[in-house]
Amino acid sequence: MELICPAGTPSALRDAVAAGADAIYCGFSDETNARNFPGLNFSRAEMAESIAHAHDEGALVLVAINTFARAGGFELWQRAVDDAVDAKADALIVADVGVMEYVARAHPQQRLHVSVQAAAANPDAIQFYVDRFNAKRVVLPRVLSVPEIAAIAKAVKCETEVFIFGGLCVMEEGRCSLSSYATGKSPNMDGVCSPASHIQYREENGMLVSRLGEFTINKFANGEAAAYPTLCKGRYQTSEGAGYLFEDPSSLDATTMLPELKKAGVSALKIEGRQRGRAYIERVVRTFRQALSALDQGLPVPSDALRGLSEGQSTTVGAYKKTWR
């Protein structure tokens, strides 16, 4: 199984390569990618230099152009595709069918991956992308159990990639409007979930209070691990008491699921976190490279080594084990 690692900057990409990534995914500094954060991402020159470096070291680079093209602004997405192809990207990760159609038509030799943002969660949807746009791989949304992933991998004529570590969405990838509702900006259209421009942190009566736009998202007591101020992971007051209504602030860690994912026929394992620093990238990539080596040698896979890097300092295997069913 390939290890697919995030990079938000050229330095992070170099660290991911050095730590043992088989491939690195990254994006341009604009709203064509779903991590459009201040100070993050790659200029055109940085992308070309970084791809050349990765290739010298035997790693691949996958360029994420995975937001949905804005009406009247399609040229931005076309230019991103053209520039990524010119920079010798090994694959493009795309969510929008219009952008996929452009890739297939203008650059038929370019390898195409279906982004998790496309929310392709059944064999028919995936096969559509394969048949229509010659997609070679699908990044599966984090809504599927391992048996469901195995059934899909068996049924489709393309590779499958699944997330194994990092921030976890509320299982509506590509369809979530919570950030848009609160701030007017969304990961789908603008490349930002809960944008920094709308976030406030305040100390109130000894508690850390996080707000997003007009909404109080959470209050953390002294000594309690904090989390991102996303609406899906907010703690809300209801008639039943205060609690996490949608999802606990927790990160995905599927280390213990690696043997089952291998058995399921998964081709590639993805680490989330292009917005994270080099320290996160280096440590998570190195840890999973060691885990995969152990797996290949039939040794026990070490687990729970990354809790300190996780949101809320807690981890989950998410939908891979649907214990709530």
Partner 1 sequence: MSVSNSSVTRMPVPLALAARVLPLLPLQVLLNICLGEIRSRHPRIFDRLGSHTSKRYGLEPTDLPIAFVLEPRRMNPRITAVRTLPSNLDARIAGPLSALIGMTDGSYDGDALFFSRDIHVDGDMEAVVALRNAIDDSRVDFLSESVVWLGPLAAPIERLLRSIVGSSSLRHEMGAGGGG
Residue numbers of the site for partner 1 (CB under 8 A)? 8-12, 15, 37-40, 43, 195-197, 199-203, 208, 220, 222-227, 275-280, 282-283, 306-313
Min CB(2)–partner 1 separation in Å: 24
Alpha-carbon radius of gyration of the chain: 19
Distance CA 177, CA 185 (A): 9
232 among annotated binding-site residues: yes
Cβ closest to partner 1, residue 132 vs residue 202: 202
Cβ closest to partner 1, residue 129 vs residue 163: 163
| Helices 97-106, 74-86: crossing angle, 10 deg rounding | 40
Cβ closest to partner 1, residue 235 vs residue 283: 283
Min CB(22)–partner 1 separation in Å: 22
Min CB(240)–partner 1 separation in Å: 27
Distance CA 65, CA 33 (A): 5
Which residue matches tokens 């999973």? 288
193 among annotated binding-site residues: yes
Cβ closest to partner 1, residue 143 vs residue 225: 225
Inter-residue contact 275 to 40 (CB < 8 Å):
yes
Cβ closest to partner 1, residue 226 vs residue 301: 226
Min CB(145)–partner 1 separation in Å: 28
Cβ closest to partner 1, residue 39 vs residue 298: 39
Cβ closest to partner 1, residue 228 vs residue 320: 228
Which of 63, 88, 91 shows the shortest CA–CA distance to 77? 63
Cβ closest to partner 1, residue 88 vs residue 278: 278
Asked whether the CA dihedral 10, 14, 20, 23 is positive or negative, the reply is positive
In order, the DSSP letters of 16-34 are HHHHT-SEEEE-BSSTTSS
158 among annotated binding-site residues: no
Q: Please state the φ and ψ torsions of residue 318, each to the nearest 5 degrees.
A: 55, -135
Inter-residue contact 61 to 54 (CB < 8 Å):
yes
Residue 119 burial (CB count, 10 A): 18
Min CB(57)–partner 1 separation in Å: 17
| Cα angle value 149/154/160 (rounded, 5°) | 55
Min CB(231)–partner 1 separation in Å: 16
Min CB(249)–partner 1 separation in Å: 9
Instruction: Give start and end residues of each alpha helix (H) in the chain.
Output: 10-19, 44-56, 74-86, 97-106, 123-133, 146-155, 178-183, 258-263, 278-296
Min CB(203)–partner 1 separation in Å: 7
Distance CA 189, CA 181 (A): 13
Distance CA 59, CA 166 (A): 21
Instruction: Give start and end residues of each alpha helix (H) in 2-96.
Output: 10-19, 44-56, 74-86
Q: What residue numbers does the annotated binding site for [4Fe-4S] cluster cover?
A: 169, 176, 193, 232
What residues form the annotated binding site?
A: 169, 176, 193, 232
